[in-house]
Structure 1
Amino acid sequence: MQNPTTPAYRIPEPLARVLGRLPRYPGSLLFVTGLNLVLARHLHPDTLHMLEGRSLRIHVADADLRFDYTWRNGAFRAARHTQAEPDLTFRADAWDFHCLLQRQEDPDTLFFSRRLVIEGDTELGLMVKNTLDSIDMAVFRPKAVLRDVALALRQRLVARARPIADGAGIARGR
């Protein structure tokens, strides 16, 4: 039987050393792209208002990866928290984050067993945790993700084609 305080899987140390040397910003850009495509549309406006301008970090401890981001002007944005600590950091091993997303583990259980560490603004942390608890995790299933990506791409294509279709491009001499 597995000890409940140790994850079922850990990123191997040699791989973690390599991952930990990667620059943070490109990874954060990829991370927020995923958040914007999959998660942002499911967040309540009050939650987004509370997130506005706040600095956040996801720290995957066993991979030594950090994803720094913020919510600003209607979207998640990659951030560089180089001089000050972010307002809120969630730190856990990759396996524990996986278990949280799959609802195989309760955040409180991971927190009290010290497998999930929340640092920074306590009120913000509780709000983010409760918000994530309230979201139907089906939005993270591959089929739902692909549907959301296809919808976002279609909306962008329509938005780009609209000025040409309504004559605005011709009127401006394009």
Structure 2
Amino acid sequence: MSTLPNIPRFKLPPLVANITRRLPQWPHALVLTAGLNAAAKMKLLPDDSLALLDGRSFLVRVNDTGGEARFVYRGGLFRPVFATTGDADLIFSANLSAFLQMLARQEDPDTLFFNRELSIEGDTELGLVVKNMLDAIEWPQMPKMPAFRR
């Protein structure tokens, strides 16, 4: 069970995406791949599943922010892809709130998918590998914050 606060469903105003789409997208890929590589190094991502990702390309699209992160898994590392064109083997699209709910384990990918809040396009088998890998992650427990007293 998550110790994070409850994340409500929300959608950012279209103006946000209109502005963000005009900005460089590569910083998103750098941050996401750094996080994924840290998770792999911490052994949060199973090695057998990672082996199935080798040479495969991914696109994570955050609809209401207009942000995209393109990356590939190659040679044991997640690597950003700086090209903004080209097909990805697997594409995940959702609003920011859906991705945050999934990360916080408030919602699982299946529920978001069947509620049409998460779109998964591309290689179906690869999508199942990634989904099962996400489901298998055992997040470390964060220590509880002490209560502030006046």
Q: Same fold (TM over 0.5)?
A: yes
Give the structure 1 partner of residue 136 of structure 2. Answer: 134
> Are positions 1:68 and 2:70 aligned together?
yes
Give the structure 1 partner of residue 10 of structure 2. Answer: 9
Q: How many residues align?
A: 135
Contact 1:71 1:77 in 2 (8 A): yes
* 1:39–1:13 distance in 2 versus 1, CA, 3 Å: farther
TM-score normalized by structure 2? Answer: 0.81
TM-score normalized by structure 1? Answer: 0.70
Question: Counterpart of 2:23 in structure 1: which amino acid?
Answer: L
**Which residue of 105, 108, 130 corresponds with 1:106?**
108
Q: CA deviation at 1:93?
A: 0.5
Greater fraction of residues in helix: 1
Q: Which consecutive unaligned segments of at least 5 residues does structure 1 have? A: 1-6, 144-174
Give the structure 2 partner of residue 35 of structure 1. Answer: 36
Question: Counterpart of 1:18 in structure 2: which amino acid?
Answer: I
Q: Name the % identity.
A: 43
d(CA) in 1 for partners of 2:15 and 2:122?
Answer: 30
Q: What SS class does the counterpart of residue 70 from structure 1 fall into?
A: strand
Question: Counterpart of 1:126 in structure 2: which amino acid?
Answer: L
Report which structure shows greater RCO (CA 8 Å, sep ≥6): 2
Give the structure 1 partner of residue 148 of structure 2. Answer: none
Q: CA deviation at 1:12?
A: 2.3
Q: CA deviation at 1:81?
A: 4.9
Please provide the CA RMSD for this pair. 1.9
Question: Counterpart of 1:17 in structure 2: which amino acid?
Answer: N
